[in-house]
Structure 1
Amino acid sequence: MTGLPMEFRAEGLPDRVTIYEVGPRDGLQNEKTVVPVETKALLVSRLAAAGLTAVESTSFVHPTWVPQLADAEDLLTRLDRAPGVRYPVLVPNERGLDRAMAHGVTEIAIFGSATETFARRNLNRSLDASIEMFTPVVTRATEAGIRVRAYLSMCFGDPWEGPVPVEQVVRTGVRLLDLGCAELSLGDTIGAGTPGHVTTLLTGFAAAGVGPERLAVHFHDTYGQALVNTLAALRAGVTVVDASAGGIGGCPYARSATGNLATEDLVWMLNGLGIATGVDLGALVTTSVWLAGELGRPSPSRVVQALSKEQEPDHAQA
């Protein structure tokens, strides 16, 4: 084996995909133990060195809610920013924006909900009130030249409300974009989506005047659908895909949410389709093997497992 799949181009797919790496934020926030800030800084640097050009580094959510990322300021002072790499951070409100701006952040993300129940559980306010809270955040950020991305969670199902109507997701997503957000990431928080659902949702956004160039997708692999859902999104024209190195992470507010789509699994599929990413898969696998050692458990990524085994010596033939 060479560590690379055979390449077969398919019609109707983009030539290039941007991978929005969420491991340092969305991945580590779900860990039971706090990872040392030195390890986090090294992780971000290694991911950038592997060719990832968007690495979401941390969150300015109050440490009471996400203690794993309480060291956000300390981390940002340690980052060795590589040219051409974006280092966005998540901010929940104006106070979080103030903290981010004090450290020279040039890109932020806000985290909204497509359902009323999750908005109240995650943001402690109604869906309408959460959008009111985001309004000054987006306005101030964009006026300061800071790019804003919006996450929209529970797009494909909610553990408390059940199925979420496509029209409701589209309506809420459009409201977030209308605030001035440059990009909307559609989150399958509990991993319940299927390819037909993905296609229908993206068609709904298109009918509302929102094309795939303003959308990203964020899939969890709870039911093993993350890659096929990604392929459906690519066929609909989406070119930005969220993923987490080694498949770490989930959602601390939704117990049924398992790990994110593994960046390595995504890169393997895209390599096989001849879609450029600029990511060095070998370097990425090595980084996730190292991270698994730091976390004290094996990576859930199938590609990391397979390629790391290939690198092991064959004792039977020694």
Structure 2
Amino acid sequence: MNAPLSADALYDRVAHVIPKAEWLSFEDDIEAILRLKRERNAVILAHNYQTPEIFHGVADIVGDSLALAREATKVDADVIVLAGVHFMAETAKLLNPQKTVLIPDMGAGCSLADSITPEDIALMRQAHPGVPVVTYVNTSAAVKAASDICCTSGNAKKVVESLGVPKVLMLPDEYLARNIARETDVELIAWHGHCEVHELFTAEDVREMREAFPGVTIIAHPECPPDVVAEADFSGSTAGMSDYVGNTKPGRVVLLTECSMSDNVAVNHPDVNFVRPCNLCPHMKRITLGNIREALEGMRHEVTVDPAIADDARRAVERMLLV
């Protein structure tokens, strides 16, 4: 967890990615959030796609979906503020049913979560009787409840192979399923959901970047189309991307994912030159310092999960965490 520094002291962390004049506009909100966290006994969980003033300024726990799910089980606080999208807040609530979970903007959704329903899963089960359902965490609690086990982009292959079966329904991200299918002998039956951020990248983008920046290292998220992943130097979850940069220290690198990811990784690796042909996630960008502050001031917007589905959804997530 971050030490309780002042907003001015925190600036040293982000000085080479946020201009001082811009940071000054954040300081009132940051100071208020730091105070409110102490008063409310609250922690802020922030996804890697959050902007640097949130990720490096006020967050206590940061990471990809898998890391946030794991760390949510260890939180020692009365209140969790999820700086991310709604399915992440639901997951935090599933794993902390006695705690208050807030999301600063209820409109922070996800195209993948919107692409599938429990009824869709029921139809898939009818078409493929006896085949287990592995559901990406980028889904609603209701969809998780209709599944056998969840996965993230960081552990999808491990989860699929842990089931010990020849065939798996892997939902809802078609591209993630197709990319993982190339790494395993398990037959993966995909849904047609796509991430609206990652589906925009093309193989032509990769070739143009290599031409424009000779020697550049290109890292793609596995939600990108398979032809993009095939032309990249490495593919992995946001945590995997960050680790790859830290371990290999490329002179120049491109992260084919959401825009703020490059800024956040650059904070920890000022010696790496980041090329930024990124795509913004409109849902992640609904979370701001201002509405984090408002969430803590007014204890708004509390995330709940229908008790009728909570146990089954929690089981699917907890089963993933045991793999």
TM superposition score normalised by structure 2: 0.30
TM-score normalized by the length of structure 1:
0.31
Structure with greater Cα Rg: 2
